[in-house]
Chain A
Amino acid sequence: MSSPRLHLHRMNWQRWLGIVIKEFIQLKRDRLTFGMILGIPIVLLLIFGFALNSDPKHLPTVVLLHESTPLTRDYVAAMQHSGYFDMIATVSTEEEADRLLDEGEVQFVVSFPPDFQRALVRGEHPAVLVQADASDPVAASGALGVLNRIGNEIFAPDLPGFHPQAPTSLIDLRVHKRYNPEGITAYNIVPGLIGVILTMTMVLMTGLAMTRERERGTFENLLATPATPLEVMSGKIIPYILIGLIQVTVILLAARFIFHVPMVGSLLLLYGVVLVFICANLTLGITFSSIAQNQLQAMQMTYFFFLPSMLLSGFMFPFRGMPQWAQYVGNCLPLTHFLQLVRGILLKGNTAGMLFHHIWPLLLFIVVVLGIGLKTFRRTLD
């Protein structure tokens, strides 16, 4: 039984090239798949891009007032006037304000401390606490931006000797984002999108690659040739590497020129990281493919993997806010590391050395999954 195992990893380049060429031709003729591969990033970009651009207004707000003074009344009126806030109520206890925020009745609670007016006039920079429901971070960010500006514009005329353009702020505006401490901003979505799109398309496409041969009966012919599992598996994923790179390029171009996402890091490093991530997903897909009996099973496995990837990688919810067990699971998912890598490179300009602790888990993932794939590759029809 030892000799067939020896042949598992043998590689003949002519055979390998034959498989690569065949896969390219088949992909080219499979219009639906091809369209899906390019269509998914475009559709997702449009959906998320719309969210990115949106600057929601008229967000329900409650004011927690201990005393009503002319200055607080002015401030509240100015907030209302900005268009971002709809003052739906004024309450006087913290419990009530908390309840409204908890139940999602309001997006913001603006609290003025007792003695606000006196402190302001004395130049003591009284604190105004804004509690934001940041579970929908995109919704909150635009509104928060205007608060500071309002403070200076409203109060300056009443306070002689202060210019609205002065660099110091009259009040100490404290923003407290609730439910989403990491505060994912709009820019985080594009890097995340690259990861999600690649995970979805790469795993799914290759997941179907082997089961399709099995269902069409062509697997019998392929098995009757001397092709080895390594040749078949690696040959089949090559075209998808190219597809993945095209997808990433489409998203990056859109991110840069439509959504003006800053790109401070090295593009070369970014593509290097993308390549590793693509390979991680492709090896997983091809392994699913050799384990699954049919295309339906391969599809189910893909979704079973896709769901935790979306939920536990830090794409949907901030990673550090998750319970410990979820973080352990998340750390086994390529997307988790990829998100850190892309954010690190695109937004923070990190270099390869700084990111190595997120690169080796991806490499390890590839080795382990490919090993499983080669082991489970069925060389017979049994």
Chain B
Amino acid sequence: MNYAIDVHGINKRFGDKHVVRDLALQVKQGEIFGFLGPNGSGKTTSIRMLCGLLTPDSGSGTCLGFDVLNESDDIKKQVGYMTQRFSLWEDLTIGENLDFVARMFGMQDRKQAVAKALDELGLKARKDQLAGTLSGGWKQRLSLASCLLHRPRLLLLDEPTAGVDPKARRDFWEDIHRLSEAGITILVSTHYMDEAERCHRLAYLAYGNLLASGTSKDIIASQQLSTWSINGGNAHRFAAALQQLPMVEQVTTFGLKLHVSGKQPELLEPALQKFASSHNLQLERSSPTLEDTFIHLMREAHDQYEN
């Protein structure tokens, strides 16, 4: 199997803060790989190390077949990196930004490529507008267009849809899938569960540790959670009380419903039934969602690393 990204044992510290610990990632060519984890878990740091913007303290591996430690110049030429924060030049126009990026990547057909990108973005008429005056969502779309310009083989997208409206988000994911079908590998970080579910495989990071990876099904199964959903008038008012029951690992709110999860269903079920009937609630066995699983992973990580 040919891996677009194949790294292991990657560590990074900032001062005495261990931000990424022994990260191992294998991303197949043409795959859409989701990168998830709470704020500050090291997603951005990991992505930066993959494209040579940060030097790992230790570890080894390859990115597009080039060594991540020594060959970042070659990696950069074939990677499209979209930063989490808008990082194009606000005092250049949309057209000038794209033109600059095209020049930086030494594109031969620069003019056509820029014109095509503007066309696809639907920004042809506004190409002389300063990038700094675009709305947040449009800035994201411009950033994506600019990192696709040089036709990279690998896309590293750091929260590309933060602040983007639902329609644009949908369009964006359709584009991502089209690119993936064309053989481009995509590593994308996100906080949205629906986006996570659209990825071929996922990795979940917390406190710099890779806690789980695989397809979303694998990840859900790996945690062996049993989940019940509780309905009924004002169910959410009972969240604190449910949390106190023995064997309850976590209670999460989904709209007007509650999800109660635990690892010992044979003990948990009777307790829940008793609680539901005494409070006039409907109890229903359901399957844990990706979100239940991630919240569970995060709590376990918190207990393990924070204390």
Residues of A whose CB lies within 8 Å of any CB of B are 1, 3-4, 7, 12, 14-15, 17-18, 21-22, 25-26, 29-30, 216-227, 379-382
Contact = CB atoms under 8 A, between A and B. Distances in A.
A251 B147 CA distance: 45
Contact of B48 (A14, A17, A218, A381): A381
B87 interface: yes
Contact of B96 (A25, A220, A221, A382): A25
Contacts of A219: 87
Contact of A226 (B76, B89, B91, B99): B76
Contact of A22 (B71, B73, B100): B100
Given A14-B103, A26-B91, A381-B53, A217 B73 contact: no
Contacts of A12: 106
A380 B72 CA distance: 10
A25 B92 CA distance: 7
Given A218-B87, A227-B104, 12 more contacts: A4-B73, A14-B103, A21-B100, A22-B92, A22-B96, A25-B91, A217-B87, A220-B53, A220-B85, A224-B51, A224-B76, A226-B77
A224 B78 CA distance: 10
Contacts of A14: 103, 106
A22 B99 CA distance: 10
B281 interface: no
A293 to B, nearest CB: 14
B87 A221 contact: yes
16 contacts: A1-B70, A3-B71, A3-B73, A4-B73, A7-B73, A12-B106, A14-B106, A18-B99, A21-B100, A29-B91, A217-B85, A221-B83, A225-B76, A381-B48, A381-B53, A381-B54
A26 B76 contact: no
B109 to A, nearest CB: 12
A14 B99 CA distance: 12
Top 9 closest A-B pairs, CB basis? A18-B103, A225-B104, A221-B87, A224-B81, A217-B87, A226-B76, A220-B87, A29-B91, A7-B73
Contacts of B72: 4
A3 B73 CA distance: 9
B51 A18 contact: no
B52 A380 contact: yes
B89 A22 contact: yes
With a 10 A CB-CB cut-off, give which of B70, B77, B87, B90 has the most chain A CB atoms: B87
Interface string B84-123: 0111111110001001110111100000000000000000
Nearest to B106: A14
B54 A382 contact: yes
B55 interface: yes
With a 10 A CB-CB cut-off, give which of A4, A30, A225 has the most chain B CB atoms: A225
With a 10 A CB-CB cut-off, give which of B72, B77, B96 has the most chain A CB atoms: B72
Contacts of B89: 22, 26, 218
B87 A15 contact: no
Contacts of B81: 224
A4 B73 CA distance: 7
Given A224-B51, A224-B76, A380-B53, A15 B70 contact: no
A30 B54 contact: no
A226 B106 contact: yes
A15 B103 contact: yes
A18 B100 contact: yes
A12 B76 CA distance: 15
B104 A15 contact: yes
Nearest to B108: A14
A17 B77 CA distance: 18
A379 B75 CA distance: 14
Given A217-B86, A381-B53, A382-B54, A15 B91 contact: no
Contacts of A224: 51, 53, 76, 79, 81, 83
A221 B106 CA distance: 15
A221 B96 CA distance: 15
Contacts of B51: 224
Contact of B83 (A7, A220, A225): A220
Contacts of B106: 12, 14-15, 226
Contacts of A221: 83, 87-88, 101
B76 A218 contact: no
B92 A226 contact: no
Contacts of A216: 90
B87 to A, nearest CB: 4
A17 B103 CA distance: 8
Contacts of B53: 220, 223-224, 380-381
Contact of A18 (B48, B52, B55, B104): B104
A51 B39 CA distance: 62
A25 B70 CA distance: 34
Nearest to A28: B91
B67 to A, nearest CB: 9
A29 B106 CA distance: 25
A340 B106 CA distance: 44
Contacts of B48: 381
A382 B55 contact: yes
A220 B90 CA distance: 14
